[in-house]
Amino acid sequence: MQVKTLLLVRVTSAVDKVDHPQFFDPPYALKSIQARLQKDQDVTVHLLDCWIHPMDVSGLRAHTAGIRPDLIVISSSSFDVQVANGFVASVKKDKNAPLVIGVGQSHYLNRNVRDARERGYDAILLGEPEQEFFQLFDRIRAGGRVEGVPPSDRRQDARDIPGADWRQHYWKCYEEGQRFAVEDPDSLAFPTYTSEELESYRSIFPVRVPQRVVWGYLIATRGCPHGCVFCSEVMRVSIGRKMRSRSAANVADEMEHLGRQGVNICSFQDDSFSADRRFVRALCEELAGRNSKMPWMARVRVDELDYEMLVMMKKAGCVMLGLGVESGSQRIIEQMQKQYHPKPWGDLCRQVFRWTRQLGIGTNAYYVIGNPTETREEIEQTIRLALELNSDTIQVHFYTPYPGSVAWERHKDIIARYDPTQMFHYATPMFTLADVSIEDLVKLRSQFYRRYIFRLGFGIPHMWKHAGFYWHNPDIFGSLLGIRKIFR
């Protein structure tokens, strides 16, 4: 089949558009696919990110009609799934309908509700589609069969599929829940961003960088070896527990590639940047060896850090870390299966945050309230720990069991009474698993923020450290002021 024009789409909905300040980052899989396709002179590729240009099904249909693609790759999340499925159903009514490939986390939800709405897709790739898409793409263009390509042992039966049987093969993979993984992350093409994209993908974290910031985003490692019960592929950028790290040189090359596009600060969006200690050391040494001036931040785990690692990271340009503290209750932490360290969780957090203050590394702390069986007193313990840790910023989520998590399986009888496409961890909960009512959870989150922000120990020091940043980035300051909308 001839495929001359491709449309890559990330859809969006109103479910995640809540009053809580937040930002959106790039559609990583689509940007990677776009970067490789752009090297193919035989195809034209268009990318539409509806997080930048919101469109409903009718808007998507009009946009598609103007492009007339042969193949659409559509990415969606669990709270965008209704838009994605509606768009696909509408497109497939056309006489000469394009092929449609589904990627993204929404399909974990499709599989869980067990209806036929995903049948409109010609193929669905669960997991990380960046490499497997091109196996599928080659088979489509070759009429289903790829000649002269030495298959890996794992995919030998999938590389030699006659005719249109690629649909049957990939449908079987989908029904069996097969996740595709990027096994060679160094082979992925570096994405290129438009000026509009760079302006739109702006993190809201204040950093100690006194200039107008242009954010760039990377995934350096894939996988996470831990087993937190609330963790779901819906909210991750990778799959599985097996760590797959890029080479330090490859990551540093991409940082320089982003710098040439105008990026002046990088954010590692890895599920757990600190999980592969050898990689962290190698990257820090690589950046130091190149005399890199690019500041960066990363999301890390408290129980994977020590002082030596933090010193290395600081010297290599780390200006901020996102740390999942989650709870001040040891019982809740153990219930989450969050901790793999013998030291009490609160003491471990205190030590790490003390080190970051000593080194001048900024911190954003993540907290979760409304955990199963959590009491009001345990939420109060979390608030007290947050006040003691005194991070530069905090984010307080409601406990949300997304599809694919252990928590989803544990509580699916309760979840079945509600529409899971409407669940979002910043939105008012649809139900509570805690020993606290929904109304009280909403009030407690408001109290959490108010008690944290409106105290002398936070406001004046925070503004002193970040005055230069806010001066050059007033839009981010304005976005953060939006937190007042949830005060009650």
pLDDT tops 50 at residue 147: no
- Please state, rounded to an integer, the average pLDDT across all residues of the chain: 91
Residue 141 parent element (H or E): helix 132-141
pLDDT digit string, tens, across residues 318-377:
999 999 999 999 999 999 998 777 789 999 999 999 999 999 999 999 999 999 999 999
- Taking residue 211's Cβ as centre, other Cβ atoms within 10 Å add up to 13
pLDDT tens digits, one per residue of 41-94: 899 999 999 999 999 999 999 999 999 999 999 999 888 888 999 999 999 999
- Going from the N-terminus, what domains does the chain have, and what CATH number goes with each? 5-180 (3.40.50.280), 203-486 (3.80.30.20)
List, in order, residues 6 or more apart from 208 with CB less than 8 Å away. Answer: 319, 320, 360, 362, 465, 466, 469
Q: Which two tokens stand for residue 390?
A: 């005194």
For residues 430 and 420, what is the distance between their CA atoms, to the nearest angstrom?
Answer: 9
Instruction: Give the strands of the sheet with 362-369, arranged side by side.
Output: 215-218, 265-268, 296-300, 318-326, 362-369, 393-398
Q: Tell me: the pLDDT tens digits for 411-430?
A: 999 998 998 888 889 999 99
Q: Give phi and psi for 408, each to the nearest 5.
A: -60, -45
Per residue in 282-313, pLDDT (tens digit) is 999 999 999 999 999 999 999 999 999 999 99
Token look-up 């019960």 returns: 229
